[in-house]
Chains A and B, each alone.
Chain A
């Protein structure tokens, strides 16, 4: 369980934002930190910070929620309020007096009805079923006992329906861990565990029939860990029905169901491709090189992940793709990989280009005619996540763990696709949206890229290639397909020869940003011949594309030319199936095209002492 030590600094930062009057930023930051796997002390503190925010700055919908509980809930309610705010609600809460479930519900004059709730949560737990081991009971006796128990809940719902039109949420029974009969309890229908299991099934059926939404407390207790969930000291000294540390999990779950009741669940997933749907980079590694399918741990993890996504798609969650790729390349695995679970027909909108993802997601939302607040964006690249968060704060952007095996659990725990019903329309939804999306994607660019780049706090360490960087440089030259201007392939030995040969300049570039070190991401080999400096090779990792590194490297090449007294910087673009990405790179960097030969183009930039650098937001550290 994550505790205060991990959060002290972030929480202090939020407090500063609040004191500076920056409510919106403070709120966004709080929501971003929300994590049900965090302990109660942190949740308590976050809820307290949230309570000091002026609600009217946050654009939340008012909602009246009543909690009628048979255990202590006072500690949970501020946390629930926070999770409901994350779901878009400004909640006024009513907490019925402790353990007055029947009195409160059955009395038409009770404060509950005076409060005028839109949602009523009957927060019960296993003890309220009134069921306990019935040694040797016959099946008929068991059925009677369970039917009686369920009918007491039904009576409560009917009373509520008489006095209010509020939506009713009902907990089921969180089966305890201790077993009088040990394992034998699993095979006797009259043991407590099986009685409660059966009670839960009957309660579920009755709840559906009465349009009552179930909170699956039994599932939550298992998810948290049943033994820790049933915390005896807290039950005995303060009547907490579950461990305080489970507060985040419970609050998020209840908030998710309420959001679904209000029709505000997430509807659409935007998926990155490389290292998100499969391991590796399709543009560089090719169909055989990507990790997907049986045979490797990573490949199997991506397979399981795709099955989970397929399951979401089949229940009506819309899947879309937003990838920095050549579209043809990006589609190859969908069309040709034998173990690819997701097919192009599962994807409602497929966007593969080199524009920034915030703009692309806006375009996807427009195409589908869905609000951005119903979108979830999944990308392994923290910089892309940050760009989307910053520009589209209404889109849910979860952190993805490094290990693809953990993707399923991460998305599942987010619980953002709660629903209150399922119909045949859900089955057909994906196809419906795909058909509607036939309209051409618009790609406008109105996101403020400059602010984003500045905020990445990028630093490039760069310089002449040396024995320490040579191996990685050669690997990059051998492996890069997409950002590779001239298709050269130099093994380490050849590279070493060039490093020592007169007339050659071999340069490397690293890039760090506030998310971490991207490592050595680009290599340039320049050949010096009298007045000309020729770009023999230029490769770069696509991971750092369009962050100004291209301009940064151009500036360095210009500087090298100036130092050598060259009057021109020249370079070839030799097209391949995979390097269309850089076909117009030189043009973008201010070069002019001098000749064209079998599709290859030759470019020149006139250099003198006045050639000015292109603007970049990357701090330079030359080694």
Chain B
């Protein structure tokens, strides 16, 4: 994994830890809502809001719909944060 991807992953991991209030949480590319018990539609919105804030970007409706797993989120963040 290249450095930028690793860095985005680390920042995103912190967002996950804070949204789900679990300091031990470790996300991977293939982590999905099935792997995190609390990850329902309400938490998904909280996750989107926290991610937007942490990375200083706004996501459009299509992008929000595509965020089913962590790998897709990282790809999107890499594309949006130059």
Contact = CB atoms under 8 A, between A and B. Distances in A.
Interface of A: 3-4, 8, 15, 39-41, 44-45, 48-49, 72, 74-75, 233, 236-238, 240, 244
B59 A74 contact: no
Contacts of B64: 237-238
Given A39-B53, A233-B61, A237-B64, A75 B45 contact: yes
Interface of B: 18-19, 21, 41-42, 45-46, 49-50, 53-54, 58-61, 64-65
A289 B18 CA distance: 51
Given A44-B49, A45-B19, A233-B59, 12 more contacts: A3-B53, A4-B18, A40-B49, A41-B19, A41-B46, A48-B21, A74-B45, A75-B45, A75-B46, A233-B58, A233-B60, A238-B45
Contact of B18 (A45, A236, A237): A45
B38 to A, nearest CB: 9
B6 to A, nearest CB: 22
A49 B20 CA distance: 10
A561 B12 CA distance: 64
B42 A74 contact: yes
Given A45-B21, A75-B42, A236 B49 contact: no
A288 B76 CA distance: 65
Contact of B49 (A8, A15, A41, A48): A41
A425 to B, nearest CB: 45
Contacts of A45: 18-19, 21
Contacts, number: 47
20 contacts: A3-B53, A4-B53, A4-B54, A39-B53, A41-B19, A41-B53, A44-B19, A45-B19, A49-B21, A72-B45, A74-B41, A74-B42, A75-B42, A75-B45, A233-B60, A233-B61, A236-B61, A238-B45, A240-B45, A244-B45
Contacts of B49: 40-41, 44, 244
A359 B46 CA distance: 44
A48 B59 CA distance: 24
Most buried by B among A3, A75, A236: A75
Contacts of A3: 53
Contacts of B53: 3-4, 39, 41
